[in-house]
Amino acid sequence: MDLSTRTEDAVGTQDWSIQEVARHAGTTSRTLRHYDDIGLLRPSRVAHNGYRHYDQSALVRLQRILLLRDLGVGLPQVAQALEASTDSGAAAEASALERHLAHLREEQNRLARQIVSVENTINALKEGGSLMAENMFDGFDHTQYKEEVEDRWGEKAYADSDRWWRGMTDAERAEWQQLVSDLGRDWIAAAESDTDPASDEAQAIAKRHVEWLTGVPGTPASAPQGDVKGYVIGLGEMYVADPRFGANYATADGGTRGAEFVRDALRIYAEANL
């Protein structure tokens, strides 16, 4: 965040207005007010005109919140992670940020490898060269979410889904990926058309989505006694909260409108049919 527009209050403490913080952080004043309402990020002071202001300590806390959100962590879990840091002070905050930085560097390295892989494939296709399978998928590791899946749904869930994925033929993987692509395309088209989440059109897509989810071994939706309704509704919420998944449903105007449409349609379908 660019901190060049800081101001000083009556006692000389440097801080930033809520509008400045929202602009620098790439978020909204509404989001910051929500963080305040749920006790996640309190302003350092409230001016006589009611405007919230944030000091350096608050900015560091906000940076940690945004880093965790970018990793797909829900707000309740963000609060737990911040509260789990029993130590306080600059040294403790720096230590926590160092852990975040290590993860970001790992992700940066993975994305850099993907970029090189895709660039090499493009060049080979344009120049009529040979494609090297062992080089085409560097950085494309479906096991990167192994720990996350095991934390949420257990080791068996990951093992079952991993075995299912590895057991597929190339044609089956391509068919499955096409199914996912078609779902994303249809969700986005419906959202951009301002379709009612409760409409027959939206509910037909939701039905396809649930059928897709229940066909993936290892997920709670595939288990005979699994809580399919809770799983589907929870995933819908995650699509909005987690930018990694929400990006699959991003409309042309950006933001979370597409993911929110998917969430609402899935909730309506789950409550009526599951």
pLDDT at 134: 46
CB 239 within 8 Å of CB 231 = no
Residue 9: how many other CB atoms lie within 10 Å: 13
Confidence grade of residue 215 (pLDDT, cut at 50, 70, 90): confident
Measuring CA to CA, which residue among 49, 130, 61 is closest to residue 94? 61
> String of b and e for 41-75 (b: at least 16 CB within 10 Å)?
bebbbeeeeeebbbbeebbebbbbbbbbbebbbbe
Measuring CA to CA, which residue among 197, 186, 155, 180 is closest to residue 245? 180
The residue with greater pLDDT, 233 or 170, is: 233
- Which value, to the nearest 10 degrees, does the dihedral of the CA atoms of residues 254, 260, 265, 270 take? 140
- pTM, rounded to two decimals: 0.45
Answer yes or no: is pLDDT of 258 > 80.
yes
Q: What is the pLDDT of residues 34-67, one digit of tens each?
A: 999 999 999 999 999 888 999 988 998 898 888 7
Confidence grade of residue 25 (pLDDT, cut at 50, 70, 90): confident
Q: What is the pLDDT of residues 127-138, one digit of tens each?
A: 765 555 445 445
R_g of the chain, CA atoms, integer Å? 22
% of residues, the chain, pLDDT over 90: 19
Which residues pair with residue 17 across a beta bridge?
53
